[in-house]
Chain A
Amino acid sequence: MIKLTDIEKVYQTKTIETVALNRVNLSINKGEFVSVMGPSGCGKSTLLSIIGLLDEPTGGVLELDGRPVKSYSDKELAHLRNQKIGFVFQSYHLINDLSVLDNVELPLLYRAGVGGKERRQRAHEALDKVGLSARTTHFPSQLSGGQRQRVAIARALAGRPEIILADEPTGNLDSVMGEEIMDLLLTLNREEGTTIVMVTHDEHQALKTERLIRFFDGSQVG
């Protein structure tokens, strides 16, 4: 379903050129749960944002459902990001001017045919799953780091996407909460067939997934 061929990402700054991804070849099948590990700065987040259609690779071909992503129009890309992909950002990226509930509703807002009532209901469900039903009217600034992370996860769940791309979704959670989120993702993968790519630093969690990819300096090493 997701196929990367010779994917390259070079960040160009005034002084230096950083090769964040170097000729990455990777194929992820529908329904797979893949975890990505590697030291800090090896290009994990970069990989995820390219798969998540948030950035363009500087070289190589990314295919989604057998079609090169380059051939999609801006509108089609927006549609894919909205319908197909749920992204959990490493640094949450919540809108500070919106309540927790409004934040979680956001992906559904850009989906045609989903009414206000259904939006609300699905947002409540998602918040329930991450154990935040008591915090719906709070604003992000009134939450702890772990709570924010769970809001970000709930937002990705609310859209019921085929693919979830999670960048260290348990990075700020205590081990108990981390386990719960991990179980949630595993259930989602098993019961709904959701394809999941998860970046993690936790070896223990990574071993629970069916496939583990290791990265080093922008390249896949195993």
Chain B
Amino acid sequence: MIRHLFTLIWNRKRSNLLLIVEILLSFFVLFVVSSLLVYNVYNYRQPMGFDSQNVWEINLNPGADTTAFNQKLQLTMQRLKAAKGVVGVTKTSSNTPFSFSTINGAYSYKGKQMPFNDNYDADDDFRDVMKLNVVEGRWFDRRDAASTRTPIVINTALKNAAFPNEKAVGQIFTDEKGKKEWQVVGVVDSYRAASDFAEDAPMSFRRRALDYDMTKKVSTYELPVLLLRVQPGSGAMLEQQLIKEISNVTKGWSVTVNSLEQSRVSKLKFVLTPLIVLGLVCGFLILNVALGLFGVLWYNINQRKAEIGLRRALGATGAGIGGQFLSEMLVVTTLGVILGLGLAVQFPLLGVFGVASGVYLQAMLLATLIIFALTAICAWQPSRIAAGIQPAVSLREE
């Protein structure tokens, strides 16, 4: 029977070739769709690298009150730290978690440019407020004040890109021209601040004072932002109290307070919208592939109704016919999938999307499963229907 199957497949090579091409193309579409799906699910399941719960963000704008900005900010931070219900306070740049602003650049290491990375400004308290996870070296502290090079803490992704087999602490990055220098003092596991779906991409924290001369022109995006860790369960009461504390020091400044969890939700909505649209397009694409495949296979099997009738007349059972067509399609699908895999393998080899190769491998697996399931249904269903008809009836279909 197996020999008969292969004889049949070989003798029908012309129409099978068409099927293989259809399966190959379908597989490819499914593979690309699966890659996107796996990529996003993979990112979503990665640890964020920080804890955004019970963290509040305070944006301050001095407006016309430009005198002694830094001193007033300093005093405000002291007052906030002392307030009951506040666990910690840190000063950072405007690209806070889930915000819509980014600051990025590329370091050079031994004259070689590194991949682009996001940069975040941080002070000595940032780690405790955000509950970062330092895996090598240390976080910023007083010792860094005297440093001639800007101290930085990088994430594991940047470390792996720059010096995968060496210790990161003590390494020095420069800018393109080799003039500016940054020294690594520690490594955190990850910091995916952009959104829940952000990739665990290279990034660094820079220890910077963020002192500005407000009498000169300073853009709002350059204004420092405060992040506060508050006691769990803190609410509007604490918020009112904190705003009062701030107003006592800073009279005319405008103050806004919102929680990182709120920002997280609104950023999620923002990121999710295109993903949902993409998902719909992908769903539509899969539906099209399924329909296309179904059409081709259905046509193929319908053309062979007389053959089905004849085989039934010669003694094949209905299940036997279903099994034969299923096996035939399985062989043809396998050939198509092998070709498709050959093509798909180029993606990780050439690094097409710059995504971890594990993503592609899982996508290949997923696409393979889907395509086999589709062809199995497409081959089984029509041949079963055809086999259920009286042989004399299907024999007339020529």
Which residues of A does B touch, CB under 8 Å? 49, 52, 54-56, 74-75, 78-79, 81-83, 87, 89, 91, 93, 95, 97-99, 102, 106-107, 109-111, 116, 139, 155, 159
With a 10 A CB-CB cut-off, give which of B11, B311, B391 has the most chain A CB atoms: B391
Ranked 8 nearest A-B pairs via Cβ: A82-B315, A55-B392, A110-B315, A54-B392, A49-B392, A97-B11, A54-B391, A78-B317
User: A79 to chain B: which residues have CB within 8 Å?
Assistant: 315
B124 within 8 A of A: no
Chain A neighbourhood of B398, CB < 8 A:
91
Give, as a whole number of angstroms, the nearest-CB distance from B92 to chain A: 72
Task: Tell me the minimal C-beta distance from A132 to chain B in angstroms.
Answer: 19
Contact A81 B392 (CB under 8 A): no
Contact call A87/B313, Cβ cutoff below 8 A: yes
Residue of B12, B314, B318, B393 near A74 (CB, 8 A) is: B318
How many B residues touch A, CB cutoff 8 Å?
A: 26
Q: How far is the CB of B393 from chain A (nearest CB, A)?
A: 7
- Tell me if A54 and B316 are in contact (CB < 8 A): no
A54 touches B395 (CB 8 A): yes
Residues B311 and A106 in contact, CB atoms below 8 Å apart:
yes
Write the B1-39 contact mask toward A (1 if CB under 8 angstroms, else 0). Answer: 101100110011000000000000000000000000000
Number of A-B contacts (CB under 8 A): 70
Distance of A169 from chain B, by nearest CB (Å): 16
Tell me whether B390 and A54 are in contact (CB under 8 A).
Answer: yes
From known contacts A55-B392, A55-B393, A95-B307, infer whether A75 and B11 are also in contact, taking CB-CB under 8 Å: no
Least CB distance, B347 to chain A, in whole angstroms: 37
In the complex, whether B312 has a CB less than 8 A from a CB of chain A is yes
Contact A102–B7 (Cβ < 8 Å):
yes
Residues facing A in B359-398 (CB within 8 A) are 390-393, 395, 398
A106-B311, A107-B314, A110-B314 known; A98-B391 Cβ under 8 A: no
Residue of A nearest to B13 (CB): A97
Pair B311/A75 contact, Cβ less than 8 Å? no
Alpha-carbon distance between A116 and B3 when the two chains are bound, in angstroms: 9
In contact, A78 and B315 (Cβ under 8 angstroms): yes
State the main secondary structure of chain B at its contact with A. helix
A81 touches B315 (CB 8 A): yes
Does A75 lie within 8 Å of B317, measured CB to CB?
yes
Is B137 located at the chain interface by the 8 A CB criterion? Answer: no
Which residues in B have their C-beta under 8 angstroms from that of A97?
Answer: 8, 11-12
**B73 CB-CB contact with A under 8 Å:** no
Tell me if B317 and A109 are in contact (CB < 8 A): no
Complex formed: what's the CA distance from A159 to B369 in Å?
A: 41
Encode contact with A along B304-344: 1 for CB under 8 Å, 0 otherwise: 00110111111111101000000000000000000000000
Given contacts A78-B318, A93-B306, 11 further A-B contacts (CB under 8 A): A52-B313, A54-B392, A54-B395, A74-B318, A83-B315, A98-B7, A102-B7, A106-B310, A139-B11, A155-B314, A159-B314
Which of chain B's residues have a CB closer than 8 A to the CB of A75?
Answer: 317
15 pairs from A and B in contact (CB 8 Å cutoff) = A54-B309, A54-B390, A54-B391, A56-B390, A78-B315, A78-B317, A81-B315, A82-B314, A82-B315, A89-B395, A91-B398, A97-B12, A98-B8, A107-B314, A139-B11
Chain A nearest CB from B336 CB (Å) reads 19
Contacting residues, chain B, for A102 (C-beta < 8 A): 4, 7
When distances are taken between beta carbons in the complex, the residues of chain B under 8 Å from A81 are 312-315, 391
Contacts of B390 in A (CB 8 A): 54-56
By a CB distance below 8 angstroms, the chain A residues around B320 are 78, 110
Give min CB distance, B328 to chain A, whole Å: 11
Residues in chain B near residue A110, CB distance under 8 A: 311, 314-316, 320
Closest A residue to B307 by CB, please name it: A95
Contacts of B307 in A (CB 8 A): 95
User: Which residues in B have their C-beta under 8 angstroms from that of A83?
Assistant: 315
Closest A residue to B396 by beta carbon equals A91
With both beta carbons as reference points, the residue of chain A lying nearest to B10 in the complex is identified as A97
